[in-house]
């Protein structure tokens, strides 16, 4: 089980400082959609240059032009790029083909997919690397979480790794780990804590035992 740190509400210098604090405890740094919107793909390059040993995910949430957007993110140093599960199959296929050229990975974000199980089965057959169940900010505000969705995709996914994101923190981590995803994505559960290093260390310990 791997641990991904999601960075959403920071600029590039803040992102670098934050990652420095928790670098030993994480496997992947996610440059979140808000950071990409504010800073562009420069943020991906800056983090990859500063932390060459960590994998960097560009959370582009691609909906169209899969091949082109994956190419641009790959040029900036991204190791993993996100595509939306509600995107057309041709967009996902284009993203997968382009990622293979760069030896990169595609994560499909299932946010707002209505038939989680049915769509996960279809997406798995398209050769993606990760399928991620995700309670977005707006869903979390309504009290939703992704645990049931994770169990649903675990039932049908044969090839891709599974990931879970959205509001995960130390207090809810045990429930996440019991569902056995391959990748746990934590944002504010680390970045919003006073002692980020201690919390990241504790989360990593639980994730690695899982």
Q: How many CB atoms lie within 10 A of CB 30?
A: 25
45, 18 contact by CB (below 8 A): no
d(CA 150, CA 2) in angstroms, rounded, equals: 16
Q: How confident is the model at residue 145 (pLDDT cuts 50, 70, 90)?
A: low
How large a percentage of the chain has pLDDT more than 90?
A: 87
Average pLDDT for 101-117? 96
pLDDT value of residue 143: 67
Q: 2-209 in CATH: which number? A: 3.20.20.70
pLDDT value of residue 148: 82
Q: How confident is the model at residue 16 (pLDDT cuts 50, 70, 90)?
A: very high
* pLDDT per residue as tens digits for the range 35-73: 999 999 999 999 999 999 999 999 999 999 999 999 999
Q: What is the 3-state secondary structure (H, E, C) of 156-197?
A: HCCCCEEEEECCCCHHHHHHHHHCCCCEEEECHHHHCCCCHH
């Amino acid at each position: 089980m791997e641990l991904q740190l999601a960075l959403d509400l920071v600029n590039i210098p803040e992102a670098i400082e934050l990652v420095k604090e928790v670098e030993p405890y994480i496997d992947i740094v996610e440059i979140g959609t808000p950071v990409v919107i504010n800073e562009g793909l420069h943020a991906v390059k800056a983090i990859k240059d500063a932390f060459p040993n960590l994998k960097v995910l560009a959370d582009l949430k691609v909906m169209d032009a899969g091949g082109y957007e994956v190419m641009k993110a790959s040029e900036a140093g991204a190791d993993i790029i996100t595509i939306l599960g509600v995107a057309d199959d041709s967009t996902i296929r284009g993203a997968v083909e382009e990622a293979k050229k760069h030896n990169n990975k595609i994560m499909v974000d299932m946010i707002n997919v209505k038939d989680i199980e049915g769509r996960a089965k279809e997406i798995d057959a398209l050769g993606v690397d990760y399928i991620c169940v995700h309670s977005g900010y707006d869903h979390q505000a309504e009290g939703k979480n992704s645990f049931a969705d994770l169990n649903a995709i675990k039932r049908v996914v044969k090839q891709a790794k599974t990931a879970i994101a959205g509001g995960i923190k130390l207090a809810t981590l045990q429930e996440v780990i019991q569902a056995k995803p391959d990748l746990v994505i934590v944002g504010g559960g680390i970045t919003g804590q006073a002692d980020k290093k201690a919390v990241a260390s504790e989360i990593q310990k639980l994730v690695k035992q899982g």
